[in-house]
Structure 1
Amino acid sequence: MLAECGFAVEVENKVKLVRGQAEIDVYAGETLKGQKYIILCECKYWKAAIPQTVVHAFRTVVADVGAHKGYIISSSGFQSGSREAAGQTNVELVTWGQFKAAFEATWMESCFTPVMTELLDPLMTYSEPVLPQWFPQLPEADQKEFMALKKIYDPLGWFAMTVSTYTLPFREDYPSLPLNDTLDPTANSTDCSQTS
């Protein structure tokens, strides 16, 4: 079983309000020590800046649901009246980059790292940078084959170690997302799909 990752998230969730219901783009709930925490997100991929009427409507939804925080995430910014409408409330107006920055480090540490460690742990013995303790007991032919495979999969071993809980005390930062930008495709010219 994989490690739990905090918030239970539902997309396009219908929530009950004082006067009816509303559909929320993202509903995230988490219970910590018996206390439920709720975050609501509205994602606006609009060509125009978000007007204050949208903020007023979302503030009502956030209040009726009893959410601790609400985010309106916009691809085209916000009108000046929108910022005033969100002032002194628990609704935050953000771009996708700002939203991601608010949660990325916490998600990486509490979810991504434990899950990746759990999934990659069985493989790390074979691919981590340090040779396993049982390596000297292998016959010479097996040692040569192991080293040939290790040369191919060393980048995976280094990557696995950088995202594992084993390096957490020494880590200054996580690789930036998306992770495929972190890996250098030219580091090894061998086609791994052809190995057996």
Structure 2
Amino acid sequence: MVARVLTECGMHVETEKNVTTVRELVEIDVYAEEVSDGRKNIILCECKHWKSAVPKTIVHAFRTVVGDFGANKGYIISSAGFQSGAHEAAQNTNIELVTWPEFQSLFEPAWLKHFFIPRMTDDLDEFGTLVEPLRPEWYGDLPQDGKAAFDALLWEYIELGVLVMDCSRYMTTVLGKPLPSLPIASKLRPPAAPLPADVIAAVGYRELYESVLKHSQKAVEKFRALREQR
């Protein structure tokens, strides 16, 4: 999961990578590189999915590896916390001791920029086009009952389309508007249908993306079926 997050943040990532320090060959759980303003930053991560807290001896050893390799940053991610003295061992170093939720929070801004917003824009482009106020060109070629079915679908999914637009690259990057806060609240009144329950209940942006993608794909299939009626 650590590698997935860093990859989705736009970094080059390798797992279980052997690196050569000034002292020895060491295997790193997650190795990540990012280029910022022409400068390469290297991040090393040790993932401790242990039942017991990480002792300070692990911190001392990892601090040596990070320093000897010349990495810019090192993270020890623990599922059971850290023993007494571990945080003191990381003080005044480029090592951070974090839980999995804390690690996600640290990289959330980069993840939203490099993964969530592009995916909400590109993966949902066809859906967004179908539920915008202007009807598609082929709408005029539909029989009357087909037009009525299209309009019903539009009202069923229009609020989901508004949410997709609010999370798009245009709204967030070009216009600089903040992403909707979670959990999502329905914004439109009838005759528009409310947002799906799992979309409203999403408490994380990955969960929101997956729920929205699922419903939008179903909607696109329905619109495509109508288009075939021409």
TM range (shorter): 0.7 to 0.9
Amino acid of the residue matched to residue 122 of structure 1?
Answer: E
**Displacement of 1:158:** 3.3
Contact 1:74–1:96 (Cα < 8 Å) also in 2: yes
Q: TM-score, normalised by structure 2?
A: 0.69
| Equivalent residue, structure 2, for 1:13 | 17
Structure with greater helix share of residues: 2
Provide, for residues 104-124 of structure 1, a one-character-per-residue CA deviation record: whole Å limited to 9, x for no partner: 122102332123312222331
Aligned length, in residue pairs = 188
- Greater mean alpha carbon deviation, residues 82-91 or residues 60-69: 60-69
- How far apart, CA to CA, are the structure 1 residues paired with 2:157 and 2:98? 40
SS, match of residue 46 in structure 1: coil
Q: Secondary structure at the match of 1:122?
A: helix
Give the ranges of 4+ consecutive aligned residues of structure 1 lying more than 6 Å apart after TM superposition. Answer: 182-185, 191-194
Q: Deviations over 1:142-177 (max 9, x none)?
A: 432322332443354234223211221222555542
Q: Which residue of 1 aligns with 2:204?
A: 177
Q: 1:1-196 maps to which residues of 2 (within 5 A)?
A: 6-128=10-132, 130-132=133-135, 134=137, 137=140, 139=142, 141=144, 142-154=146-158, 156-168=160-172, 169-173=176-180, 175=182, 176-177=203-204, 179-180=206-207, 195=222, 196=225
Counterpart-to-counterpart distance in 2, 1:179 and 1:18: 40
Q: Distance in 2 between matches of 1:192 and 1:165?
A: 21
Identity in percent:
45
Worse-superposed segment, 171-180 or 12-21: 171-180
Gaps of 5+ in 2: 1-7, 183-202, 226-230
The aligned amino acid for 1:177 is G
Mapped partners of 2:125, 2:22: distance in 1: 49
Equivalent pair of 1:163/1:174 in contact (CA under 8 Å): no
Deviation at 1:11, TM superposition (A): 1.9
Shift in alpha-carbon separation, 1:173–1:42, aligned structure 2, 3 A: farther
CA–CA separation in structure 1 for the residues paired with 2:110 and 2:221: 38
Rounded to whole Å, the distance in 1 between the matches of 2:211 and 2:11 is: 32
CA contact (8 A) 1:56 1:85 kept: yes
TM-fit CA distance, 1:7:
1.1
Instruction: Quote the Cα distance in structure 1 between the aligned partners of 2:44 and 2:18.
Output: 11
* Paired position in structure 1 for 2:198: none
Whole-angstrom CA distance in 2 between matches of 1:162 and 1:25: 37
Give the whole-Å Cα distance in 1 for the aligned partners of 2:84 and 2:119. 42
